[in-house]
């Protein structure tokens, strides 16, 4: 690739099926100076790598010559200015897609339909002009179709559906079936229009995510707020979000505490309480308090925008089944032409049958054999599956990942931040000679102001229990031992058990209690007041609330689970025992990778779930790497798939979505080939003719697309149920 290479992305109007995408890809790839071409029917986009910027005009001319509209995809997405860091707005740009009935394809269909009605009326009034009237009506629709067929043939796609349609219509005219030919052309246009409407609905399912971000934001400057376009917010700007409003940008809370409804981004129905220092996502809803938020990402890079980009890019990558269908259709369409010719020619030549009758049947075979329904069967379902997953916080980077998930036999989990919360919490408070609240109060007094994870856990527990926290004097850290200070005139020390044993004798019962906590994988801090043992505080990184449910559902599906962690063996085995999962502990990153390879060598199809950072080697080695618990950036940019809201149960949902999509694909292929087989037999037997033949193609295409759209209603599971029984829409 040359240093001057330029990547350009376009939105294509009128590209509503895979045949359209194939024509465009073939035509653009033949242009000089084109290094890469990617076409997505689902997102309606064309991505090309140009040798230099001068090739863009040639790409646009080539696409327009095929009968499609084309415009830069990023024209309305990328603001030219940003505000919030000293810049002023310079206007707002945007584009609204036309209603389907205003689009050229719809106008052509309506015009052809009106002409067909007028031809019928004219034929009834003046029978001698009936044929000419129907011929004129047919030409209104056929001329644009034939022009597209001609352009596609010269651009490298001679066997297009438009070519089959043109041959069938011209053949029907030659044998005198003009009325039927006119009806077939009209039905073909109706079918294309319905494809377009269905394709638009599929695109809207993911593009609607972008509308979750409000158009305006309240920007705070010099203590005052003013309303500005949200797309022009700059990183570092401070915005104010009122109760009930959607958050207009990714950011960090500077002031305030509120429940945040993250369902639009993560699919998680339970609002999360967030306060100062917590991260919030664009498009989520501030429930009950005013928040001041510092913007951390521009509009083009916020969570919603990245999800949309990720899914659109994923839709451009083809699943193995889709690639097979594409290869199959390459040979299928020429085979249909040969079959139609044989049906038209062999019976008259070999059996003396009527030439007009069998030419008529041969033309009908051409229409029946159009491959649209077959080639759309897989990508329509894949696109709907990717969209349905994204709307529920499951991001899958392509059809190959979505298809491969159903084959998983083993899931290897990281521990910290994946199966557990990723931060310690106080699990036990043991008071000796005083109340538990006093133990927490004294410990919190010493830890006030500390950012150490154990200190944060103690302070959080004190806050939850509404324990008063008195001031501490002379508080200081003791290297490797703990923290000390004076509280209420008493010397207080919060330290490790070994440091406490240096100052006072622990009874056998107290020592046994500490050992028991350690065996459970808990860290113990000892509280001494004037060198007297006053309490024990046990802390541990606890399992996620849904971990047991998620692991149980995986096991119920016959999928093996194993924990791979760098944590110490005792802690890992304690967590593993509580979750009922096989444990391998004290592992380095390369050890995790080796275990994944070992599992694969034994025939397992492995999914590795981790935070995408220290698990990177294992994620890369696994058949499918799933990022979870490492933050939004990691979730969006690492591994093959990502779980936005970090639920273990969503690993099961990913597998369930994969099975749902593959079942839908099988249904679609059955519909497409089944209808063709039925109409092929009835046509050869003389039961059906040209216009039912076109229904076999357009009808099957509409049915297949509608069936695929059912996947958009997929919800996944939040509670354990019989495996995947309710996942299928």
The CA distance from 681 to 679, in Å, is: 5
Task: Report d(CA 111, CA 103) in Å as an integer.
Answer: 12
One-character DSSP codes across 257-288 = -EEEE-HHHH---S-EEE-TT-EE-TT-EE-S
Is 250 an annotated catalytic residue? no
Q: Which residues pair with 7 in a beta bridge?
A: 49
**Are the CB atoms for 228 and 216 separated by under 8 Å?**
yes
End-to-end CA distance of the chain: give it in Å, rounded.
45
Contacts of 599 (CB under 8 A, 6+ apart): 410, 412, 562, 606
Q: Name beta bridge partners: 8.
A: 48
DSSP assignment of 303-361: HHHHHHHHHHHHHHSPPHHHHHHHHHHHHHHHHHHHHHHHHHHHHHHHH---HHHHHHH
CA proximity to 149, closest of 175, 127, 174, 169: 169
Integer angstrom CA distances of residue 334 from 338, 340, 629: 6, 10, 51
What is the C-alpha to C-alpha distance for residues 693 and 679, in angstroms, rounded to an integer? 7
Residue with tokens 């106008």: 107
* Cβ neighbours, 10 Å, residue 618: 26
DSSP 543: B
User: Residue 728: which H helix or E strand, with range?
Assistant: none
Query: Is residue 18 within 8 Å of 377, Cβ to Cβ?
Result: no
Strands 624-628 and 641-643: parallel
Cβ neighbours of 4 (radius 10 Å) = 10
Q: 414, 615, 650, 697: which is the annotated catalytic residue?
A: 414
* φ, ψ (nearest 5 deg) of residue 488: 60, 35
Q: Is 643 helix (H, G, I), strand (E, B) or coil?
A: strand
* Four-point Cα dihedral 613, 614, 619, 621, nearest 10: 140
Widest distance between CA atoms in the chain: 118
**Residue 343 burial class via C-beta count within 10 angstroms: exposed 0-12, middle 13-18, buried 19 and up:** buried
Rounded to 5 degrees, what angle do the CA atoms 158, 160, 162 make? 115
Cβ(565)–Cβ(557) below 8 Å: no
CB crowding 501-537: b at 16 or more within 10 Å, else e? eeeeeeeeebeebbeebbebbbbbbbbbbeeebbbbb
Angstrom distance (rounded) from CA 409 to CA 5:
42
> What is the pairing mode between strands 560-564 and 582-584?
parallel
Tokens standing for residue 38:
């990617």
Distance CA 211, CA 201 (A): 15
| Active site positions, annotated | 414
């Amino acid at each position: 690739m040359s240093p001057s290479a330029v990547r350009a992305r376009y939105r294509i109007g009128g590209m509503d099926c895979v045949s359209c995408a194939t024509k465009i890809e073939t035509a653009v790839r033949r242009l000089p100076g084109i290094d890469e071409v990617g076409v997505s029917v689902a997102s309606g986009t064309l991505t090309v790598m140009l040798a230099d910027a001068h090739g863009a005009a040639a790409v646009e001319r080539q696409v327009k010559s095929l009968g499609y509209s084309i415009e830069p995809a990023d024209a309305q997405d990328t603001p030219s200015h940003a505000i919030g860091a000293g810049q002023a707005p310079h206007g707002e740009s945007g584009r609204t897609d036309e209603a389907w009935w205003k689009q050229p394809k719809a106008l052509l269909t309506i015009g052809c339909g009106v002409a067909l009605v007028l031809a019928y009326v004219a034929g009834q009034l003046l029978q001698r002009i009936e044929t000419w009237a129907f011929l004129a009506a047919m030409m209104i629709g056929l001329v644009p179709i034939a022009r597209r067929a001609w352009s596609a043939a010269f651009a490298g796609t001679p066997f297009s559906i438009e070519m089959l349609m043109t041959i069938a219509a011209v053949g029907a005219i030659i044998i005198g079936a003009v009325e039927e030919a006119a009806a077939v052309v009209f039905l073909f246009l109706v079918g294309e229009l319905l494809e377009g409407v269905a394709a638009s609905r599929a695109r809207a399912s993911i593009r609607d995510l972008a509308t979750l971000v409000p158009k305006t934001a309240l920007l705070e400057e010099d203590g005052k707020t003013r309303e500005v376009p949200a797309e022009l917010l700059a990183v570092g700007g401070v915005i104010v979000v009122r109760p009930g409003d959607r958050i207009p940008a990714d950011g960090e809370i500077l002031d305030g505490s509120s429940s945040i409804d993250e369902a639009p981004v993560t699919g998680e129905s339970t609002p999360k309480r967030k306060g100062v220092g917590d991260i919030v996502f664009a498009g989520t809803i501030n429930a009950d308090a005013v928040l001041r938020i510092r913007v951390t990402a521009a509009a083009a890079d916020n969570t919603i925008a990245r999800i949309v980009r990720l899914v659109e890019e994923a839709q451009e990558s083809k699943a193995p089944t889709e690639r097979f269908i594409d290869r199959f259709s390459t040979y299928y369409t020429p085979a249909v032409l040969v079959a139609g010719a044989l049906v038209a020619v062999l019976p008259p030549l070999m059996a003396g049958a009527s030439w007009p009758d069998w030419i008529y049947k041969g033309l009908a075979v051409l229409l029946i054999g159009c491959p649209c329904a077959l080639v759309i069967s897989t990508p329509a379902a894949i696109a709907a599956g990717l969209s349905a997953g994204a709307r529920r916080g499951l991001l899958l980077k392509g059809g190959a990942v979505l298809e491969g998930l159903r084959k998983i036999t083993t899931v290897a989990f990281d521990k910290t931040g994946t199966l557990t919360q990723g931060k310690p919490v106080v699990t036990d408070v043991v008071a000796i000679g005083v109340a538990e609240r006093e133990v927490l109060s004294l410990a919190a007094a010493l830890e006030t102001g500390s950012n150490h994870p154990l200190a944060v856990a103690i302070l959080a527990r004190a806050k939850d229990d509404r324990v008063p926290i008195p001031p501490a004097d002379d508080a200081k850290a003791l290297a490797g031992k703990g923290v000390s200070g004076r509280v209420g005139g008493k010397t207080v020390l919060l330290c490790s058990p070994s440091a406490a044993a240096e100052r006072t004798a622990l009874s056998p019962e107290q020592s046994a209690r500490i050992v028991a906590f350690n065996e459970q994988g808990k860290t113990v801090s000892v509280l001494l007041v004037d060198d007297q043992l006053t309490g024990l505080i046990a802390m541990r990184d606890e399992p996620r609330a849904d971990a047991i449910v998620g692991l149980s559902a995986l096991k119920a599906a016959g999928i093996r689970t194993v924990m791979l962690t760098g944590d110490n063996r005792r802690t890992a085995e304690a967590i593993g025992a509580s979750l009922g999962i096989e444990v391998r502990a004290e592992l380095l990153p390369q050890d995790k990778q080796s275990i994944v390879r070992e599992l694969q060598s034994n025939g397992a199809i492995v999914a590795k779930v981790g935070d995408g950072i220290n698990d990177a080697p294992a994620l890369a080695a696994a058949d499918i790497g799933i990022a979870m618990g490492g933050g939004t950036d990691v979730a969006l940019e690492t591994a093959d798939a990502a779980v936005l809201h970090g639920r273990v149960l969503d690993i099961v949902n990913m597998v369930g979505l994969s099975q749902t999509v593959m079942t839908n694909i099988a249904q679609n292929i059955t519909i497409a080939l089944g209808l063709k087989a039925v109409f092929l037999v009835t046509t050869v037997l003389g039961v059906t003719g040209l216009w039912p033949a076109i229904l076999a193609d357009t009808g099957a295409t509409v049915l297949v697309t509608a069936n695929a759209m059912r996947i958009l209603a997929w919800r996944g599971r939040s509670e354990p149920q019989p495996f995947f029984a309710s996942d299928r829409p």
